[in-house]
A and B are shown apart, each in its own frame.
Chain A
Amino acid sequence: MGILVNKDTKVLVQGITGKEGRFHTERMLEYGTRIVAGVTPGRGGTSICGIPVYDTVLEARTSTEIDASVVFVPPPVAADALMEAMLEGVRMVACITEGIPVKDMVKVRKVAVDCNATLIGPNCPGVVTAGETKLGIMPASLFSTGATGVVSRSGTLTYLIVEALTAAGIGQSTCVGIGGDPIVGTSFTHMLSLFRDDPATEVVVLIGEIGGTQEEEAAEYISEHGLPVVAYIAGKTAPPGRRMGHAGAIISGGKGTAEAKIKALSAAGASMASTVSETVEMVKNLLSGSSVAAMSQQGA
């Protein structure tokens, strides 16, 4: 069924006529995503891969029902596109764009909270419900259907882990990238709570990295509620004060180290992996115990 989107989700692509938007629209359609409309201001009336393009989200919504949007819009206008989607009533938005100014994101995130919309990203690869739908840029061939949920701040590192899980015969339920920026729309904790309530998910893989306190907050949730989690934290060797690629991957004022995250998650009962193959082994172990047994272990 999917914790965020499924095969029936009607999807809007914002920035559909751009190079990225167009390319990934084709890939998403190939996967089976139900794309119903696109928006690029000034290109209304045209179509991409048979999908009608509109000038505004309002126009698109008036013409057809829309459940979710995926945004491929450049940084200078991305915040505006996100606000447009949410304020015009789109309840689930995935933002792929990297490079949005943090000042804009502080405003956008507040809009998401006020509109009660789920905002994934920015600077994320999107979300895949295996076998059903994909919003974003994750390579479709990696996925197989199963009971492992994946939530991550990374892109390609996530793909490596999903690929390895599939190769080991371990399929996925939902895989969601929450993004690599310092201010993102959705937290690990929120995704864990959705996975916990999802009957299709038995184990969750959490892929974190240096910077911020998302992983520590997730550890608190795992402690309180119990959930079988395998966690991989990247950045053990990152020096303090340096941005490691992702805008949010920075150890600031001594806070946000991989060490602290590993400590918190481990204390909460998560299995900590240091390599892709370790991650797969640990997922196998958690899956082979029954989910009830695993959850009561975690909660102890």
Chain B
Amino acid sequence: MELYEYQAKELFRKFSIHVPAGTLHENAEDIYSSHHLAGNRLVVKAQVHTGGRGKAGGVKIVNSIAEAFTSAGEILSMTIRGLPVRKVLVEEALSFSRELYLAITLDRDRACDLVMLSAQGGMDIEEIAGNSPASVIKIDIHPHLGLQEYQIRELIHSLSLDASDRMELAAVIRKLYRFYNETDATLAEINPLVLCKGTFVAADAKVVIDDNSLYRHPEFRSLRDINEDDPLEREAHHRGLAYVRLDGDIGIIGNGAGLVMATLDIISQEGGRPANFLDIGGGAKADVVRKSLEVVLQDPDVKGILVNVFGGITRCDEVARGIIDAMEQLEVKIPLVIKLCGTGEDEGREMLRGAGIVPVAEIVEGARRIIGLVRN
């Protein structure tokens, strides 16, 4: 789960990491009631789950509340990389003497967490690493021992900072590490971490929380929906379905992530455009299958659906029942092609034929059929 900047900063505050004073707005008018920000230099920032906000004009430094109001109005009507801007964060614009890069993240290749620090904050980390790789210091965190004090010293060592700033930076690193651990984050990135009169402040914040850990973070439950950009994806997640919306017109439903990805690939290979990824998981019953069809059918772009189910624990007759139920309850007018084999395949296929749906035996054939039907 990727958090918005304002959510990440709220959490940082709880962990005593300094962030700029700021307010969140869903419409520009509210800005006038933010009295404490009046008279300062301000920055208006689009709250979207993507990088490149600055380049897209989604981050503006202004000199008054009136200007903030105007910029907010413009930014709230923007779409950045396909994502509509629904909220802006209005903060005091900071004057700072240094900009650093600090992040803690999971390095899956090395199977451990690592801390990264660079004296060159404010740019994309790929750019920083590209321009001067030596300036990015990385330290692996021991999976059992955690981040050690000597490692923090090693990290800070090459930066030219005076003694008191060094101590401050060490404190921020300790706090960020505590944050990273206690929130089950897989990324906690501060870019830039700015030095304002002896205090380090997180001018920006990017946090990703491990989805698998959400069961042990009831405090994040309310954040989930807010962070779901697509209403269909939100709906699917409420129903416990693994669903990713794409931009094609052939809906895909299958059981097993690899199998579903492979089905998307085959549609694409045969010249079709998948509308979504949807994995019904293992041992799915008829109602899960029905719910999946309902979700896919809610996508107005979908002109046909390909179902690919391998029955291991999942039973083909259960899947067939779910499909037939959905066809009856919703008024399915678009073509449906189904590749169904494995446990209970004979019964499942018989049921489908009885309902006027023809099952295919092979997926490439199925892909060609649905693509052909959608084209006509």
Contacts and interface: CB of A to CB of B under 8 A. Distances in A.
B347 interface: no
B332 to A, nearest CB: 25
A156 interface: yes
Chain B, interface size: which category?
Answer: 35 or more
B163 interface: no
Contact of A244 (B108, B257, B363): B257
Interface in A146-187: 152-160, 163, 180, 182-183
Interface stretch (B38-46, B205-213, B289-297): B205-213
Interface stretch (B59-67, B70-78, B263-271): B263-271
A207 B210 CA distance: 25
Contact of B260 (A137, A152, A239, A245): A245
Contact of B258 (A183, A212, A246): A246
Contacts of B318: none
A106 B184 contact: no
A155 B144 contact: no
Contacts of A232: 262
Contact of A103 (B210, B262, B312, B362): B210
Given A101-B216, A137-B312, A157 B143 contact: no
Interface in A209-244: 209-210, 212-213, 232, 234-239, 242-244
A107 B143 contact: yes
Given A156-B256, A157-B259, A100 B109 contact: no
Interface string B250-285: 000011111111101111110000100101001000
A46 B186 CA distance: 41
Contacts of A15: none
Interface string A124-141: 000000000000011100
Interface residues of A, number: 53
Interface in A71-122: 75-76, 99-103, 106-107, 109-110
Contacts of A102: 106, 184, 186, 210, 212-213
B5 interface: no
B274 A239 contact: no
A207 B265 CA distance: 14
B244 interface: yes
Interface stretch (A49-57, A197-205, A247-255, A281-289): A247-255
A213 B109 CA distance: 7
A154 B259 contact: yes
Contacts of B113: 106
Contacts of A63: none
B243 to A, nearest CB: 9
B262 A157 contact: yes
Contact of A238 (B112, B211, B261): B261
Contacts of B269: 274
B242 interface: yes
B278 to A, nearest CB: 9
B342 interface: yes
B262 A234 contact: yes
A238 to B, nearest CB: 6
A276 to B, nearest CB: 7
Interface of B: 106, 108-109, 111-113, 126, 143-144, 181, 184, 186, 210-213, 215-216, 242, 244, 246, 254-262, 264-269, 274, 277, 279, 282, 310, 312-313, 342-343, 362-364
